[in-house]
Chain A
Amino acid sequence: MNRAISHRKDDAVEFANVSLRLGGRTVLSGISLHIPANAFIGVLGPNGAGKTTLMRAILGLVPPSNGSISVLGRPATRGNPAIGYIPQMHGASPGLRLRGWDFVAIGAKGHCLGLPRLGKAERADIDRALDLVGARALARQHIGEMSGGERQRLLLAQALIGRPQLLLLDEPLISLDPHRQQEVVALAKTLQVELGVTVLFSAHELNPLLEAMDQVLYLGSGQAALGSVDDVITGPVLSRLYGSAIDVVRLKGRIFVMSGSYDVEQGAHQHDHDHDHAHSHEAHRSHADHV
């Protein structure tokens, strides 16, 4: 066995030569990583890079086709109570007439059989989770009538039920305006530090996470790079992950990942809204100007 990838005591998650396949397609191949405990890790990469798949693998929902994953010193298994999770697609239907408190409560011992009655300990845990995310005021409000940012807070509270050691937050910034994005990142960072947990926070853009991140995990072309922002967000590393020439431009404390004159992060983001997929050269230029 390779000494370099043997288990270290202070690892939150360890990937040893892991390949992940979905429906016959290899999403990640032969990856080895040590994700340190008690750190804020930004998980980045273009659409389809495998951010969600990586989190589902840590949760034991996607068994590796090769290699092994260990989480907090144990093999990854489904139903690990030490992991809190916000899925990228969450079921919370709009117009659902359920109060915030009851919504968070659904996750408390939700896997146990019986009527959904709660004991004192669970009630206290729910109140604590709501307090931690500053959502006491949302407890009585209907989940269907909340803004995106408020709902994100409740989902975070739900993820904190059961006092997890590892939080997997899959794209919690999606559809939030820049101001709310900063609030959510700051909240996640505060929780990470105060509770002494590990946070994996996936996002489409690097800049909102820059201040919070201890390390960045960048995925692309089936590969992964983990390390400090200075080590990973570089031309050579990202060119390997994107499979094309990438320039990294630093400007006023912000970082832009450019392919030619085209900002790939903005581009990936823009694509969801663009109906016109024929990007002219001018359009590329304007992307770059815009940043």
Chain B
Amino acid sequence: MPTMFDYDFMRNAFAAATIVAVLAGVVGYFLVLRGQTFAGHALAHVGFTGATGAVLVGISPLWGLVSMTVAAAIGMGFMGEKLAERDVAIGLVLAFALALGLLFLHFFTAYATQATTLLFGNVLSVDVGTIWILLAISAGTLAVLAVISRPLLFASLQPELAEAKGISLRLYGVLFLVLVALTTAECVQIVGVLLVFALMVGPAAAAQRLTHSVAWGVPTAGLLALLEAWLGITLAFYTDWPTSFWITTLSVAVYLVSLLSSWIGSRGQALLSLRSDTI
């Protein structure tokens, strides 16, 4: 009986998922730390317009995604705090982005498959050429993140102090959102526009519950995302259910387990300290 690695599409799927999951976990860790998870969500929606627009004019949806999300990230970064107070405006812009994407798809013949692929992802259809592009974007994004990680961390956790020490909050805010945009564009290849949270936020949030320092949290987030993606694809292969369903389910499950474990951890500590108090 053939194993799943006998199929080209499965090997490609694992390669793509590996590249994207590690990136999503690591970038997602900083996203959760900065309390900007909504930005990831927003960028994915805007990316949908870019992807469908690209399909309409006959170029690869990945490039449409990348250019649109990066442009939106720069715009959001420069608006900064002003954006946070305008949730109605943002909500409407996001709805409009999806609607516009829908219109673009309307003009396209292979409407239904393209729409589902973009909205929910289809890692089983990734080709070798795409894998190389994903690898290049991923490597570049991680390299830039490594270079800015120290001031980014400072600016994220102690913004006023960081500013006083000469760090430009705006510069790092914009730079980081561009990295998030690239990560979002990659995630869409695996889990689609609507489920980006599963790879970017789920593992990172769980990692933050399970670890006590950034040095452990970042690799844990990457590792969790990787395991969820691998296991998700494997389960999809054997059950024939959608990959994105499995990855999202695993992401939610791992997050719930992390909640439970940190709850038990703090209860345990409370019990211990109670005992040492009474002794």
Contact = CB atoms under 8 A, between A and B. Distances in A.
Interface of A: 56, 59, 61, 78-79, 81, 83, 85-87, 89-93, 96-99, 102-103, 106-107, 109-116, 142, 145, 158-159
A115 B149 contact: yes
A158 B161 contact: yes
B30 to A, nearest CB: 12
B164 A87 contact: yes
Given A78-B166, A99-B213, A116 B35 contact: no
Contacts of A158: 158, 161
Contacts of A56: 164
Given A97-B208, A116-B214, A142-B212, A107 B158 contact: yes
B207 to A, nearest CB: 10
B164 A90 contact: no
A171 B151 CA distance: 25
B166 A102 contact: no
A124 B208 CA distance: 27
A103 B147 contact: no
B150 interface: yes
Given A111-B154, A116-B150, A158-B161, 6 more contacts: A92-B157, A102-B212, A102-B213, A110-B150, A110-B153, A110-B154
If over half of B's interface residues share one DSSP class (helix, strand or loop), that class is named, otherwise mixed; here it is helix
B151 A113 contact: yes
Contacts of B165: 79, 81, 107, 110-111
A107 B154 contact: yes
Given A93-B35, A97-B208, A99-B213, A111 B153 contact: no
Given A61-B163, A78-B164, A78-B166, A91 B212 contact: no
Contacts of B212: 97-99, 102, 142
A107 B239 CA distance: 50
Contacts of A97: 208-209, 211-212, 262
A207 B217 CA distance: 44
Contacts of A112: 150-151
Interface string B159-186: 1111111110000000000000000000
Given A97-B211, A97-B212, A107 B149 contact: no
Contacts of A86: 161
Interface in B194-233: 208-209, 211-215
A109 to B, nearest CB: 7
B27 to A, nearest CB: 15
Contact of A79 (B150, B158, B166): B166
B253 interface: no
Contact of A87 (B157, B161, B214): B161
A257 B156 CA distance: 40
Nearest to A89: B160
Given A79-B165, A97-B209, A102-B214, A115 B160 contact: no
A238 B66 CA distance: 60
Contacts of B162: 110-111
A192 to B, nearest CB: 19
A120 B262 CA distance: 32
Contacts of B88: none
A91 B160 contact: yes
A69 to B, nearest CB: 14
Contacts of B161: 85-87, 90, 107, 158-159
5 contacts: A97-B208, A99-B212, A102-B212, A106-B158, A110-B153
A87 B154 CA distance: 14
A106 B160 contact: no
A59 B147 CA distance: 26
- The residue among A79, A83, A89, A145 with the most chain B CB atoms within 10 A of its own CB is A79
A59 B156 CA distance: 19
